[in-house]
Amino acid sequence: MIVAGFYRTKDGGLTWSDALLTLGSPTFYEGCDPAVTADAEGRFFAVYQADTANIGWRAYVQVSTDLGATWGPCRLASLTNSQTDKSFCSCDISATSPYHDNVYVSWTDMTSFVIDVARSTDHGQTFSAPTQISTHTTCQGSITASGPNGDVYAAWVYGGSPSAIECNRSTNGGASWGTAHNIANCSGLQYYPARCGTYRIPNCPSIGCDITNGPHRGWVYATWTSQISGSDLDICFSRSTDGGQTWSAPVQINVDPQNRMQFFPWLVVHPRTGDIAVSWMDCAADPTECSYRATGTISTDGGSTWSSNVSISDQASNAANSDFVGDYTGCTFSSRGFFSSWPDLRNDGGDAYGAWWNDTMFVHLDYPQGGEAFGAGQEVTVRWHDRYMPDSVLVELNRTYPSAAWDTLGKASCIADSFIWHVTNPLSDHARLRLISAVMPEKGDASDADFVLGMPIPTRVTAYRIGADI
């Protein structure tokens, strides 16, 4: 019996515990194409393929209401399909959506290679009959994402001629769907041969949607692997600003002057900032294209520009002797930024590794910045702004920078953006203040220069003239 494995962390990814989904039946074989998502209330949904008593692979869902510690009974999502593949699940987490917390599961119907979708409106307890959303056959690798107003988007790869990344949209929470159309043509077949080793490289897409109230609200983004220039595989990106009806010409977002291979991209849009993160496996540093590293880039302007490519993994994986490294990577978000996971080969034939990454400033101290003078008893409002930061920050003071130790003045919510500091003795003319993450002390910001902790603030001084000779 092959058991689908799901792991959880309670300390921001430092340690992980095993939360295997076991159904207890010796005739139930699960473990193919696992995926997990969460709704806005903290329920977790795990989807995977299973073969019940050799009657066919189907898509099943289990729900956890205790952050992945335990899982409920198995629910069949693909009600009328007996042969499914590459299932995926997503949730509508938009606060403004009339279909808030709907669950969507998509898969490939292997009897005809079309894409089907089912939805749940009762937190994964039951699922609707599947709806075919692809027009063509020979389709594979679907993914769904929700927009801000209840719209749902699905994308997949069409392996016909010409091959293409296709998409479809529902404007009513998955009750009905429109007509499928192209995002872009893509080169090659559904699976590319690896340069080194025998593992396969699918060109399945990944999509996301901006649900913020920012300038790119409702924009939809897609990424996939394809050949843009030359014979190497690159990471492609396209966006739609009109609800998925039209798409921009694909652009390459990996930096690769040597024309080497990149594959397994995954895209996520941060629901608070609207930043787009894409991570992938990158062979740019290896002329033989045998070794890869998890790599990523971030756009803060709706995909118009991208940051420098960031190495996420601390070691390379050599795939020369591997016959299979899976078909996907993963990327998700939190208040501290982005977390990517990937198949890693540093220890053996394959493990799941993950890491936080971000190349934008976590938090910026706005005041005091240096040059100010404060007196004992004065009330000072410390101010900052943040893009990514954990829930709380420590406000610390160094009275004689840099020789003295940092003293903690207090703890504040990062999203509060301010902290009231009551200045006390002893006084100094070389003081600095800093903010650090309560859980990641290496992340933070400090005053750019010294400020003065001077004499006490004087009370009112009144002068009286007494006599004519004064």
What's the pLDDT tens digit per position in 107-148?
Answer: 999 989 999 999 999 999 999 999 999 999 999 999 999 999
Q: Distance (Å, rounded) from C-alpha 77 to C-alpha 383?
A: 49
3-state secondary structure of 366: strand
What pLDDT, on the 0 to 100 scale, is given for residue 258?
86
pLDDT at 259 over 70: yes
| DSSP calls for 138-205 | SEEEEEEEE-TTS-EEEEEEE-SSS-EEEEEEESSTTSS----EEEEE--S-SEEEPSSSS-EEE---
Q: Distance (Å, rounded) from C-alpha 423 to C-alpha 408?
A: 13
- The better pLDDT of the pair 30, 60 is held by 60
- Chain position carrying tokens 């009974």: 73
Task: Return the top range by mean pLDDT from 155-159, 206-210, 320-324.
Answer: 206-210
Cα dihedral sign for 62, 95, 175, 165?
Answer: negative
Q: Do domains 1-185 and 206-360 have the same CATH topology?
A: yes
Q: Amino acid identity of 359?
A: D
Q: Distance (Å, rounded) from C-alpha 332 to C-alpha 356?
A: 9
Band (pLDDT 50/70/90 cuts) for residue 196 is confident
User: Which residues on neighbouring strands pair with residue 433, listed in sequence order?
Assistant: 397
Least confident piece of the model among 16-25, 388-397, 423-432: 16-25
What pLDDT, on the 0 to 100 scale, is given for residue 24?
43
Record the pTM: 0.84
pLDDT, average across residues 56-78: 90
pLDDT, average across residues 332-345: 89
Task: Return the top range by mean pLDDT from 25-39, 49-63, 124-138, 312-326.
Answer: 124-138
Domain limits of the chain?
1-185, 206-360, 363-454
Band (pLDDT 50/70/90 cuts) for residue 1 is low
pLDDT at 32 over 90: no
| φ/ψ of residue 159, rounded to 5 | -95, 15
What are the angstrom distances between the C-alpha of 52 and each of 59, 341, 422?
Answer: 11, 29, 67
pLDDT at 313 over 90: yes
| 206-360 is a CATH 3.30.930.10 domain | no
H-helix or E-strand spanning residue 414: none
What pLDDT, on the 0 to 100 scale, is given for residue 127?
97
Domain 363-454: give its CATH code.
2.60.40.10
- The better pLDDT of the pair 392, 29 is held by 392
pLDDT, average across residues 272-300: 94
Mean pLDDT of the chain: 88
Q: Distance (Å, rounded) from C-alpha 455 to C-alpha 333?
A: 47
Burial status of residue 44 (CB atoms within 10 A of its CB: 0-12, 13-18, 19 or more)? buried
What pLDDT, on the 0 to 100 scale, is given for residue 359?
54
What pLDDT, on the 0 to 100 scale, is given for residue 470?
45
Domain 1-185: give its CATH code.
2.120.10.10
What pLDDT, on the 0 to 100 scale, is given for residue 405?
93
| 385 DSSP 8-state letter | E
pLDDT at 226 over 50: yes
What pLDDT, on the 0 to 100 scale, is given for residue 45?
95
Q: Distance (Å, rounded) from C-alpha 190 to C-alpha 201?
A: 8
Band (pLDDT 50/70/90 cuts) for residue 28 is low
What pLDDT, on the 0 to 100 scale, is given for residue 23?
53
pLDDT, average across residues 431-443: 83
Band (pLDDT 50/70/90 cuts) for residue 442 is confident
Q: Do 228 and 203 contact (CB within 8 A), yes or no?
A: no
pLDDT, average across residues 312-330: 87
What are the angstrom distances between the C-alpha of 17 and each of 13, 24, 85, 352, 445?
Answer: 10, 20, 27, 13, 33
The per-residue pLDDT for range 176-188, each reduced to its tens digit, is: 999 999 999 987 5
User: Which residues on neighbouring strands pair with residue 299, listed in sequence order?
Assistant: 276
pLDDT at 2 over 60: no
pLDDT, average across residues 100-104: 97
Band (pLDDT 50/70/90 cuts) for residue 458 is low
Band (pLDDT 50/70/90 cuts) for residue 357 is confident
User: Which residues on neighbouring strands pair with residue 373, listed in sequence order?
Assistant: 452
pLDDT, average across residues 208-227: 96
